[in-house]
Amino acid sequence: MNKLKLYVLALTALIVCSAKADEGMWLMQLMQQQHSIDLMKKQGLKLEAEELYNPNGVSLKDAVGIFGGGCTGEIVSGEGLILTNHHCGYGSIQQHSSVEHDYLTDGFWAMSKDQELATPGLKFTFIARIVDVTDLVNEKIQSKEITESESYSDGFLRKLAQELYKKSDLNGKKGIVPQVLPFYAGNKFFMFYKKVYSDIRMVAAPPSSVGKFGGETDNWMWPRHTGDFSMFRVYADANGEPAEYNAANVPLKTPKHLSISLKGLQEGDYAMVMGFPGRTSRYLTVSEVKERMESENEPRIRVRGARQDVLKKEMAASDKVRIQYASKYAGSSNYWKNSIGMNKAIVDNNVLGTKAEQEAKFAEFAAKENNAEYAAVVGKINEAVAQTAPVKYDFTVLTEVFFSGIEFGSPFMVMENLKKALEEKNDSAVNANLESLKQVFADIHNKDYDHEVDRKVAKVLFPLYAEMIPTEKRPAFYQVIETKYKGDYNRFIDEMYDNSILSNQANFDKFVKKPSVKAIEKDLATAYSRAKFDRLNVLREGFGTLLDDLQLLHKTYLRGLGEMKLPVPSYPDANFTLRLTYGNVKSYSPKDGVDFNYFTTTKGILEKENPNDREFVVPAKLKELIVNKDFGRYALPNGDMPVCFLTTNDITGGNSGSPVLNDKGELIGCAFDGNWESLSGDINFDNNLQRCINLDIRYVLFILEKLGGCSRLIDEMTIVE
């Protein structure tokens, strides 16, 4: 039997000794083979495996889906009502907001279905089917139809997905999107049939003073008092199938929705989270952890911090700018602070030492097995990382500054094509490229872009890039700045932002009216954009085949680690696919003399209140409800109102919005964050410190009913007292 098949057996081996009970983002389709369901039951689960995931019928997984492009949402009524985080719905709330209708500040409550707002571009995705295609991929490798490296490639995976989809009974069904992904570093492959709904409407969102209470100060922190939720609804055609927005569409009649428990929770209670964690890197070597810290996190911290200082100042000075940049700032700041916390936690939690111990144990295992491939693999990974680390640093700085930080630019390829068409006097090609240019201009100068704010960002980031990257490694426009502009960044930026073809409507109209080769050749934004992409391509070439080599080395390393751990099964790194994690409600003590309780109440909201700090403003009506203890049936037995709670569930980005379920599969909360002390968790799970911060479902219902006046939504739900 070959090594690959041995490893696959290892992945599905019977558990005879316990792993860390709370660690692991488990594939639901492997629950019974890996017997993780047995451990869940030992910890308190009262459901059978088929009630969680049933490939041949309806189960809890059918009430959970992908919200937008990077979060999780759950169905909480038979009419397609979605619960997710406020920060997941934030972009959509911002999309609907204006100075006249400031839903970010005031909140939004649809008092009837006809008030629910269509949200173009927003999608909700269910997982219709999961199929193991490992044997098929391995057959293609063994027959030399593809190489091992090609098995990871997007091109091959997309082609395989389409081939399998066309042969399936789902071919031609509305909304079906097929996807094949590698797991365990390419030791297994699964095919996902996704069903995507594109008519999603905004239903309810608390004001940001509730949904983002604590703001960036409290982000990743405990204790927490953030009402981080929003609600949307899936609409479908008359047959319940996906359809683009149409006034005739109706709420989706869902085959499964989550029941909601008001029974409350106690420390030690069983809790599980079902959702779509984005990315973890639990199987890195010491050298790769250092690379993450120094080549990715450190430059990201520096660049985003500088940009956010500009945005924060401009947003504070203008409500218009605040609304325009609210979602951009929140998205940037979230992983800026995450990178800071991760680097700190890696040091504080001795992650490098833990990884070194793992490598030492693996070396002993390789020697014991007399396996030369295993014995050499870590050294080969380290050699490759020594070459990728400096390139990755340059790549991170370039992309953070010129692709994520600064928004203005020019579609240089369209300009090149237009220039060629003008030279050849090809009128049809000229007109086609001008139409493309009109669309690009509209995309740049959209309602969420401010040219003057972006100019100020550029004036900070251009010189910062020069501080971080040596002269010989900078894009070509830096040479122009040094020679023609005598090193004056502001002068170069002002000329580009004032005079380029796409700078403003007047410039653009003038060019479109009389396009010329000379104008294109003189255009600073076009030269700037071409140069930044030229530099990006140089860096991509700098990786060469190293990234492919590293993938294959990791395939070997993970196979060996799996064999070393036997009979305990392994779980794959997160890759934004459906996972289940289980644990318990639990407090924690991050350091000597500090003990954190497992839940918070509305008392903490008033304790944190600061009318002069936008992050800690408490709405007058909410304050009145808290002071009067007007909590209705959602209060604790002592009359207090719960807000958030902690569990030991293993989550990461992408799990935002995931349902937190009790031992009966009833909804008790909504996951929205991790804790500061364990932000190294994407690299190394710490069983003592890792906590999942969750919003108590009772606080959600309290806000809906008492603050939002949306009892109609609660009436839709299945409530268990």
**Does residue 222 contact residue 73 with C-beta atoms inside 8 Å?**
no
The 3-state DSSP class for residue 588 equals strand
Task: Specify whether the backbone of 466 is left (phi greater than 0), alpha (psi in -120 to 50) or beta.
Answer: alpha
**Catalytic residue, candidates 87, 225, 257, 554:** 87
Beta strands in 410-569 (DSSP E): none
Query: With the CA atoms of 595, 597, 598 and 601 taken in that order, what torsion angle do they form, in degrees rounded to the nearest 10?
Result: -150
Say how far apart CA 680 and CA 343 lie, in whole Å.
7
Q: What's the burial of 541, exposed, middle or buried (CB within 10 Å: 0-12/13-18/19+)? A: exposed
**Does residue 501 contact residue 511 with C-beta atoms inside 8 Å?**
yes
- Residues in the chain, total: 721
Residue 87 falls in the annotated catalytic set:
yes
Please identify which residue in the block is written with the tokens 């050699």.
Answer: 383
Element (H, E) at 702: helix 697-702
- DSSP single-letter state for residue 572: P
**Catalytic residue, candidates 59, 656, 678, 680:** 656
In terms of DSSP bridges, do strands 659-661 and 270-275 run parallel, antiparallel, or are they unpaired? Answer: antiparallel
**Catalytic residue, candidates 228, 394, 450, 682:** 228
Residue 669's DSSP bridge partners are 660, 696
Residue 673's DSSP bridge partners are 693
Residue 529 falls in the annotated catalytic set:
no
Q: What's the burial of 147, exposed, middle or buried (CB within 10 Å: 0-12/13-18/19+)? A: middle
3-class secondary structure per residue, 103-123: HHHHCEECCCHHHCEECCCCC
Task: Please count the other Cβ atoms lying within 10 Å of the Cβ belonging to residue 4.
Answer: 17
Residue 523 falls in the annotated catalytic set:
no
Q: What's the burial of 631, exposed, middle or buried (CB within 10 Å: 0-12/13-18/19+)? A: buried
Say how far apart CA 178 and CA 511 lie, in whole Å.
43
Q: For helices 3-11 and 546-565, what crossing angle results, to 10°?
A: 60
**Does residue 79 contact residue 252 with C-beta atoms inside 8 Å?**
yes
3-class secondary structure per residue, 235-259: EECCCCCCCCCCCCCEECCCCCCCC
Residue 74 main-chain phi, psi, to 5 deg: -130, 150
Residues with a catalytic annotation lie at: 87, 228, 656
